[in-house]
Amino acid sequence: MISLTPLKTLQNIEFRNLLTGRFFIVLAFRMLATLLGWWVYQLTKDPFSIGLIGLSEVIPAVSCALYAGHVIDMNEKKKLLLICTYLYVFLIGLLLIPAFYNVELHFSGHEITYYIYGVIFFTGIVRAFIGPIVPSMIPKIVQKVNLPSAITLNQATFLISSVCGHAAGGFLIGLVGVKWTLIVIVSLISIASLFFWNLNKQFSEHKKDEIKVLESMREGISYIFKTKEILGALCLDMFAVLFGGAVAMIPVFATDILKSGAEGFGLLNAASDIGSMIIITTLSIIPLRKNQGKILLFVVAGFGLCIIGFGLSHYYWLSFMFLVLSGMLDGISVVIRGTIVQLKTPDHIRGRVLSVNSIFIMSSNEMGQFESGLAAKLMGVVKSVVFGGSMTLLIALIVATTNPKLRKMQY
């Protein structure tokens, strides 16, 4: 049955501004991720160095996430969002120094790599705050009846911008090089800030001295552990993506196995997001009506099979299709998980719960990147990807047998 709810939700001007700003900022972030993976691998020719990019960001991001949730719940959200956006502009701008002046300053490849890790460490701190802010603002902007549709549209926006960002990053690197691609990235984040300025202020429901920091953080963690559906969905996503992070090794596959060059790398890097965009756009029109918990478990298992297929493939278009299918399955997982978290979380604790959620997401994505780099170094690239897909299948089976509430979940 086709739903008209997404069209009604998009009539909300403030919601459109939030989504448009998020589109530009995620576009920039995905271009940056694509650029950094390519840049660092060209500097070092070491797959493990790609994994260290994720590690250098996830350590500060996870370390600050619980405190960030407290700050978000206790302060005005629009101001925090703008501060984080402009901090990103400054930090990414620092990468222009080695990009433009490495010859004059006589930087070696390893020195530039260490400098990149240092900058990304500080962006990780900012990410701990900016990650939960946008989803925490949505329930105050749209009516509750439109919330599932708004969550799906938010994810669709994220994935469309991811597709464009990955592909554009690869094409721009090949066309104008690293330094001018960085200029485009900084410009896109600045454009995002213009849309964020048009949002209404969202003040805290708490008084400044109402709740202590440690008590506040503990409340967010406690709520997730008491709500088994949320805990199961987050654990499933974290461990599945942790072991199924084949995307981190795409620079190696594109360069050494598939021989596709920078342009082919950009398209390959966007493949999973293309699949996710297709399925999430479909779900915004024809939403899932029942058995969401069982569907979540099946799509995660299918995701693992696709990662195994990608690791074993030596043909560019077959590898591309495996990644597209993995993205479609992951897109279903993202919609179900995001809806569960939002619908089962009350407003007064939303920032803290979403910050804990961001820990799971960051742990899976960035630690998955590190795990992929380490496994590639120890086992070889192909074996490491096949191992990761196999572990994803195992995780889906374990969660299915140990969390009956998630298995029976419907909304």
> Concatenated DSSP letters for 386-404?
HHHHHHHHHHHHHHHHH-H
As a whole number of angstroms, the distance between CA 20 and CA 12 comes to 12
Q: Using one digit for the tens of pLDDT, what is the confidence trace for 161-185? A: 877 887 788 788 888 888 899 999 9
Q: What tokens does 184 get?
A: 């485009």
Ranked by mean pLDDT, which of 37-51, 341-355, 366-380 comes out on top? Answer: 37-51
Measured in residues, the chain has a length of 411
Return the percentage of the chain with pLDDT > 90, whole number: 18
As a whole number of angstroms, the distance between CA 347 and CA 353 comes to 10
206 pLDDT tier (thresholds 50, 70, 90): low
Give start and end residues of each alpha helix (H) in 197-227: 213-226
> Concatenated DSSP letters for 83-113?
HHHHHHHHHHHHTHHHHHHHHHHT--HHHHH
Determine contact, residues 188/24, Cβ cutoff 8 Å.
yes
Q: Using one digit for the tens of pLDDT, what is the confidence trace for 85-105? A: 999 999 999 999 888 887 666
Q: Using one digit for the tens of pLDDT, what is the confidence trace for 115-164? A: 999 999 999 899 888 888 888 888 888 877 777 778 778 877 887 787 78
As a whole number of angstroms, the distance between CA 250 and CA 256 comes to 10
Distance in angstroms between the alpha carbons of the first and the last residue of the chain = 16
Structural domains for the chain:
5-197+213-407 (1.20.1250.20)
Say which residues have a Cβ less than 8 Å from residue 381's Cβ, sequence separation at least 6: 47, 249, 252, 253, 256, 257
As a whole number of angstroms, the distance between CA 184 and CA 16 comes to 23
How far is C-alpha 41 from the chain's CA centre? 21
